[in-house]
Structure 1
Amino acid sequence: MKAAILILFVAFAHISFAQDTIVVRKDSRLETLTAKQASTNKLAGKMTSNGLYRGFRLQVLNTRSREQAFQVKTELLRRFPEEKTYLLYQSPYFKVRIGNFLERADAEEFRQMVMKQYPQGVFVIDDAIEYRPGAATSEETEPDSQ
């Protein structure tokens, strides 16, 4: 009995070594899944400990006058309603900032538009920004309704 099992084992081992080609069938959805995970990892690398992302904002004003800061913030809200504005107080200065940009190039592009209204100096600064990854990616992945 042991000899028969040994002979069968050797025969199957010999047959399995005779097969020198392996065919791997890759699921077509694997590339899509890999690209999606890579973009998620890229965004996760920019996330800070408090749930915000590392990005850029435009600093439009740095003043000691609270009234002037509120006036500029109101003007920015009126002229650029699609962008969020921020009023920060870092003693003794009030700072007015606008926008949430992941890339510096996007901030520079928006800076050119803001500079037309505020030529005294608009600066791109590094800041923790509010960003919702689902909002941008859901628009890109929705199929066309035709």
Structure 2
Amino acid sequence: MKRAIFDSKAKLSLIKFCSFFMLILLSAAASAQSKGKVVVVRDPLFDTLLAKRALLNRGGGSSSGGGSGYVSNYGYRLQIYSGSNRNAAYTAQARFNREFPEMRTYISYHEPNFKVKAGDFRSRLEAEKMKAQLQSTFSAMFIVSERINPPKTVTNND
């Protein structure tokens, strides 16, 4: 009698184990992903543009003035205005350009503020010297670090 009870419990636990194992196996098979193939469709000019960009980044490209390609690095600029008034930003830029026509100015808009930045300084020391010169004219001015354009080259035709 004990043996009959033992056999029925063993069969019941074996059935439970097998059904649990089958559920695990089926769920793993259902969630498995098959490997696929990705096809990229692009314009053939894209490869040409990538090659030209690589050439320009190496400095081997020729710009309209001849010589080496355009290269920019990180440096410093003076931020002379920051505010939400567009007309005030353009006024600050015009005032700076009247006093320093040889220096480049840049206006950028990052919602909600317009920012006017001036100069392309390679070192912080250069930016500090210019800041000291301008302190009386532009009181709320500070130095920002960002990607700058290379300085203008002076060519003499002597």
Aligned mates of 1:127, 1:79 — CA distance in 2: 24
What are the superposed Cα offsets for residues 35-76 of structure 1, whole Å, 9 maximum, x if unpaired? xxxxxxxxx9xxxxx932110000011100000000000000
Unpaired segments ≥5 residues, structure 1: 1-43, 45-49, 140-144
Q: Does 1:126 align with 2:154?
A: no
CA gap 1:132/1:61 in 2 versus in 1, 3 angstroms: closer
- Structure 1 Cα separation of the partners of residues 134 and 86 of structure 2: 21
Write out aligned runs for 1:54-93 (5 A).
54-93=74-113
The alpha carbon displacement at 1:132 in A equals: 4.8
Q: Secondary structure at 2:135's aligned position in 1?
A: helix
- Work out the CA distance in 1 between the residues paired with 2:89 and 2:149: 21
Aligned length: 89
TM-score (norm 2): 0.51
1:97 matches 2:117: yes
Task: Flag the structure with larger Rg.
Answer: 2
- Structure 2 gap ranges (5+): 1-58, 60-69
State whether residues 105 and 116 of structure 2, in contact with CA within 8 Å, keep that contact through their aligned partners in structure 1: yes
Distance 1:79 1:116 in 2: 13
- Tell me the percent identity: 27
Q: Distance in 2 between matches of 1:109 and 1:69?
A: 23
After TM superposition, what 4+ stretches of structure 1 lie above 3 angstroms from structure 2? none
Q: 1:74-95 CA distances to partner (integer Å, 9 max, x unpaired)?
A: 0000011111001111111000
1:96: Cα distance to partner? 0.4
Alpha-carbon RMSD: 2.3
